[in-house]
Structure 1
């Protein structure tokens, strides 16, 4: 265990550029807030090792944070220029006068997972069951699942099940111990669970499609100030181009996944394969206009389910939430 932690620490330090000398590039660096061991760090590692950032004339200054709230605070305080976050947060902030904008990074969502021998085969089987939900009662996957179950099974999961909200790792332990009957969890945890023998009941991408929305709708992406972007177009465009090259390599090269295996924390080859396939399925493929249209449609569904606690007074996706300048 100690050796594995040392390997992970070394790999993450490399991804942050701590141990890799870089040539000085003209202009200011792009200060990026990165979650420790999050999937964003995987793409950034690929970008740096292959020199895609330097080729685009971009110097990266990557700063690690323990969780999304800390990264959000760092962005709001001007400590970083860019973080990975979902567009719901951007839309809520815009409703309060902020100027954050969003470029898609991933459409990957979680799944409903049960033990292999569970009698639960469909959402209707969740009635009366103990359901773990990763995150809070306002998590987008939970709201999507509730909307889908209401529309297709006439089932109000908030009352038909016994939901427990919490951290995905803790809920996974509860499911394995038999103290939960099912779990709605984030995609990396779902991939790990399936690799360990758990069974998927429903993928949230399927639920999104069942709501009449493109299942490739992006959920998390690069978030930054629109004013900052206008003043640093070359820096942002260079980063986006370098990131696209890294994503393309992760989409096509299995060897690249072997290279980032220590960063993923995969316990074995089967787990790495599940993580790889889930990550690849989430790489955005829609046009910028289609991304925004799908997100706007999903916003209406989420707002109807989550209410003002989720979206505030907003009635529609705020203009400017999705950054379109220079994208095609």
Structure 2
């Protein structure tokens, strides 16, 4: 069939419009690859983000890549296999001091705490002397070091020297604490929340120790970590990630129904789910980036003093740029 000149023009215009729309859509949606632990708490936020398409609303397509361990995510970021991971600012600062261009956006201020049984006679840090304490995260865990620093300053108490310290995986330590084999346990925030829902109380949290040691407010323990170069080359994608994350956090902060939807992923229900929900909400960052950065720099000095080069490397101060400057002025 022979097409008229008008049909040819109409077809050409339609083809051009379709191509333009397709190109525009491609330009508007940037793929961001994020590497996270399969069963980590970050997956709760990312599931909310993807389920409600907050990534698409923020102009990105978030591709969640799961890993079995933290070391694997670190390697994947440095190898360029993913664009973003979640890690802590001490690790970012250490690598940045060694020449890497890693930087961080606050993700959560939720931190660990020392938990004791509700009926325990332990009421203060001083009461921990000559007790059996379980510690998750190893001897260089930030929460453990901050609480050590406070015990030493206020009570002249050297916790590692004055106690039997048992290092181990959080689930195992929680089990031993509930069986009465430990007098106290310092664990990650979500394990503390589960213990709290099952008859334990917080003796002191790492955020309490940080405040006593000079922090002006909650300091993010973890953040979204990426390369400066990636953010410079993909500013809309970087800011889109931050925006999508905040949309998910805002929903999780106000919607109890969303937590019920997440219950199978969180693997909790009833009082335990409610406690996890409440502690998560307390950990949503709400301070200007400059304040977070200033407090982290002060805490870095405290941690460097007690953790030495094993923790922070050779740098005496937190590396400039550890916190992403793309958010410095509300960007």
- Rounded to whole Å, the distance in 2 between the matches of 1:303 and 1:272 is 36
Q: Distance in 2 between matches of 1:288 and 1:77?
A: 28
In structure 1, what is the Cα distance between the partners aligned to 2:217 and 2:291? Answer: 11
- CA distance in 1: counterparts of 2:202 and 2:183, whole angstroms: 13
SS of 1:243's equivalent in the other structure is: helix
Give me the whole-angstrom Cα distance separating, in 2, the residues matched to 1:28 and 1:299: 35
2:259 aligns with: 257
Residue 178 of structure 1 corresponds to 180
2:60 alignment partner, SS class: coil
TM-score (norm 2): 0.89
Residue equivalent to 2:305: 304
Mapped to 2, the partners of 1:181 and 1:104 lie a distance apart of 33
Q: Is residue 284 from structure 1 mapped to residue 280 from structure 2 by the alignment?
A: no
Counterpart of 2:19?
none
Which consecutive aligned stretches of 4+ in structure 1 deviate over 3 angstroms post-superposition?
A: 24-28
Q: 3-state DSSP class of the match of 1:235?
A: helix
Give the number of equivalent residue pairs: 304
How far the C-alpha of 1:326 sits from its partner, in A, is 4.1
Cα shift readout 1:59-88 (whole Å, capped 9, x = no counterpart): 111100112111111111111000000000
Deviation of 1:179 (Å): 2.1
Listed one character per residue, the Cα deviations across residues 218-256 of structure 1 (whole Å, up to 9, x for unaligned) are 110000011111011111111111111111111111111
Per-residue CA deviations over 1:286-324 (Å, capped at 9, x if unaligned) read 101101001001101110110111111111110111101
Q: Which residue of 2 aligns with 1:68?
A: 70
Q: In the TM superposition, what is the alpha-carbon distance from 1:161 to its structure 2 partner?
A: 1.2
Cα separation, 2, equivalents of 1:34 and 1:28: 19
In structure 2, C-alpha distance between the alignment counterparts of 1:321 and 1:248, rounded to whole Å: 25
Q: Which residue of 2 aligns with 1:324?
A: 325
Cα displacement string for residues 129-186 of structure 1 (whole angstroms, at most 9, x for unaligned residues): 1100011110001100101111121211111111111111111112122221110111
Asked whether the equivalents of residues 117 and 200 of structure 2 are also in contact (C-alpha less than 8 Å), the reply is yes
State the alpha-carbon separation in 1 of the partners of residues 216 and 284 from structure 2.
Answer: 14
Give the Cα separation in 1 of the matches to 2:204 and 2:318: 27
What TM-score, normalized to structure 1?
A: 0.90
Where does structure 1 lack aligned partners over 5 or more consecutive residues?
1-23
| Residues 1-328 of structure 1 mapped to structure 2, 5 A cutoff | 25-26=26-27, 28-266=30-268, 268-327=269-328, 328=330
Whole-Å Cα distance in 2 between the matches of residues 84 and 41 of structure 1? 11
Matched residues in 2 for 1:318 and 1:44: separation?
Answer: 29
Root mean square deviation of aligned Cα: 1.3
Mark the runs of 5 or more structure 2 residues left unpaired by the alignment. Answer: 1-24
Show the counterpart of 2:20. Answer: none
Q: In 1, Cα distance between the equivalents of 2:46 and 2:37?
A: 11
Give the secondary-structure state (helix, strand or coil) at the position aligned to 2:146.
Answer: helix
| Secondary structure in structure 2 of the residue aligned to 1:31 | strand
Does the residue aligned with 1:284 lie in a helix, a strand or coil?
Answer: coil
Equivalent position of 1:16 in the other structure: none
Does the 8 Å contact 1:172/1:183 carry over to 2?
yes
Change (3 A) 1:255 1:192: same
**Cα shift readout 1:180-202 (whole Å, capped 9, x = no counterpart):** 11101110000000101112211
User: 1:47, 1:175 → 2: CA distance?
Assistant: 35
**Residue 180 and residue 326 in structure 1: after superposition, are their counterparts in 2 closer, same or farther (change >3 A)?**
closer
Deviation string 1:5-50 (CA, Å, 9 cap, x unpaired) is: xxxxxxxxxxxxxxxxxxx754541010011122211111111122
Contact 2:30-2:59 at 8 Å conserved across structures:
no
Partners of 1:283 and 1:73 lie apart in 2 by 27
Q: What is the DSSP-based 3-state SS (H/G/I as helix, E as strand, rest coil) of the residue aligned with 1:307?
A: helix
Report the structure number with the largest CA radius of gyration: 2
